[in-house]
Structure formats: structure tokens, C-alpha cells
């Protein structure tokens, strides 16, 4: 089993739906430890991505074409830190997905490239209460699953579970990076909004693999 452009397009649509449904939750998380606009910004960005893909005269033929559209649209439509971070993640992922279909190692390469983009842009590392705390365990779990011979859907599922655990792990952390770091000890007790949205995005990738026709 492999993942193709149909999966990528469905991933984008399901992500947009998930972000829309969680917009208020993400905004509230960001209100208490950030700028309070994470949910609104991501919703605007993925709504614009969906609109752009829907307006194309021809459907993209490869996964990288979809991811490039996601990247450039998020960079141009999403304010704050999340636009450049997610935009860079998808842009880096596009560079390693210029093939018709992804096998398990291809999924790992996509996730690794996305994480590299985020860390390069945000200069963050695990343990600082950022989205890296969801992305790093996701990549580690994907690598382990692929190494064990799991198919792409199971690799994605392992990554999504690890991302969810990683997002939850940010709740007791004291932020040492980003806007939340200004709060010091007061940042503890709240899940990082970027880690929370990472959880949503990777969960949508799994559902897209399960639901694609």
C-alpha cells in the first residue's frame, strides 16, 4: 500500500475541517500563553489553501505539488509565527515528495523534512514547549514503525499517536522559547497551541489514509 496525490488532497481537506472545528480551542490555548490568534490564523490559512486547490483547472499530479500550494498559501495568509513555521514545514516536505506515491520510508522522509523545516525556521528543540514537542516524537515513532516493516498508514498512525502524546506532554512544561517564554512559570499548566495543531494535522493525515478511495 502506498499514498498518492488523492491522499494528499484529502489530507488538506480534512485538516481544514479539523482546524475549523478546533478554531476556538486553539485560540483559547494561544490566548493564555501567546498572542491569542493561532486558531483564527490557521483557519484562515487552511480555508485559503482549500479554496486555491478547489479553483485549479487541473488537479495536481503529485504530492509535492499539493504541499507546495499548502506552503506558499500558509506563508502568505497566516500571520504570527505559525504561518512561516508550517509554511516552511510543508515546503521542505514538498522537496522530498516529488514522486507519484509514498511508501513507508517516503512517509518518514516527509515527516523528517517537515520537522527540519520547523527547527530551522524556529530554532527550537524538544523540551521548550513548542510544536517541536509534538513533531519530534512523531518523527521518532514513524522511523521506528517503518523500521519494523509497517505500511504507510500504520507509520502515519504511529506518528499521530506520538504527536498527541507529545502535545499533552507540553501542558506541565515551562516555556523557554517563543511568546509563551515571557510568562515564565505561568506558562505551565497549558498545552502548547502549536503542538495541539500539530496533533490535528497529523491525525488528519491518518484519516485521509483510511478514507481515501
Each residue's pLDDT tens digit, 136-176? 999 999 999 999 999 999 999 999 999 999 999 999 987 77
- 116 falls in which pLDDT band (50, 70, 90)? very high
CB atoms under 10 Å from CB of 4, counted, come to 15
- Structural fold of domain 5-211: 1.25.40
pLDDT at 23: 95
Q: Answer whether 64's CB lies under 8 Å from 88's CB.
A: no
pLDDT at 183: 67
Which residues partner with 3 through β-bridges?
A: 102
Q: Is the pLDDT of residue 213 over 60?
A: no
- 2 falls in which pLDDT band (50, 70, 90)? very high
Q: Is the pLDDT of residue 180 over 80?
A: no
pLDDT tens for each residue of 52-86: 999 998 989 999 999 999 999 999 988 778 889 99
Q: How far apart are CA 97 and CA 31, in angstroms?
A: 35
Q: Which of 51, 63, 55 is nearest to 16 (CA)?
A: 51
DSSP annotation of 129:
S
Write the CA distances from 152 to 113, 117, 206, integer angstroms. 16, 22, 9
Dmax of the chain from CA atoms? 51
pLDDT at 190: 86
- 20 falls in which pLDDT band (50, 70, 90)? very high
Q: Which of 25-34, 119-128, 140-149, 187-196 is the most confident on average? A: 140-149
Q: Answer whether 95's CB lies under 8 Å from 34's CB.
A: no
Q: Which of 125, 23, 106 is nearest to 67 (CA)?
A: 106
Amino acid at each position: 500500500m502506498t499514498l498518492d496525490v488523492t491522499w494528499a488532497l484529502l489530507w488538506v481537506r480534512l485538516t481544514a475541517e479539523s482546524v475549523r472545528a478546533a478554531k476556538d480551542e486553539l485560540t483559547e490555548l494561544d490566548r493564555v500563553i501567546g498572542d491569542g490568534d493561532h486558531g483564527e490564523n490557521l483557519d484562515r490559512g487552511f480555508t485559503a489553501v482549500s479554496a486555491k486547490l478547489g479553483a485549479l483547472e487541473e488537479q495536481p499530479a503529485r504530492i509535492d505539488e499539493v504541499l507546495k500550494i499548502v506552503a506558499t498559501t500558509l506563508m502568505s495568509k497566516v500571520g504570527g509565527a505559525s504561518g512561516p513555521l508550517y509554511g516552511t514545514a510543508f515546503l521542505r516536505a514538498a522537496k522530498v515528495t516529488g514522486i507519484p506515491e509514498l511508501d513507508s520510508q517516503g512517509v518518514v522522509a516527509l515527516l523528517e523534512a517537515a520537522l527540519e523545516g520547523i527547527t530551522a525556521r524556529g530554532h527550537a528543540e524538544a523540551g521548550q514547549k513548542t510544536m517541536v514537542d509534538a513533531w519530534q516524537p512523531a518523527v521518532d515513532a514513524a522511523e521506528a514503525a517503518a523500521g519494523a516493516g509497517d505500511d504507510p498508514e500504520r507509520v502515519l498512525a504511529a506518528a499521530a499517536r506520538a504527536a498527541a502524546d507529545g502535545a499533552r506532554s507540553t501542558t506541565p512544561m515551562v516555556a523557554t522559547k517563543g511568546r509563551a517564554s515571557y510568562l515564565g512559570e505561568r506558562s505551565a499548566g497549558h498545552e502548547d497551541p502549536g503542538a495541539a495543531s500539530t496533533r490535528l494535522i497529523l491525525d488528519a493525515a491518518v484519516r485521509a489514509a483510511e478514507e481515501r478511495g
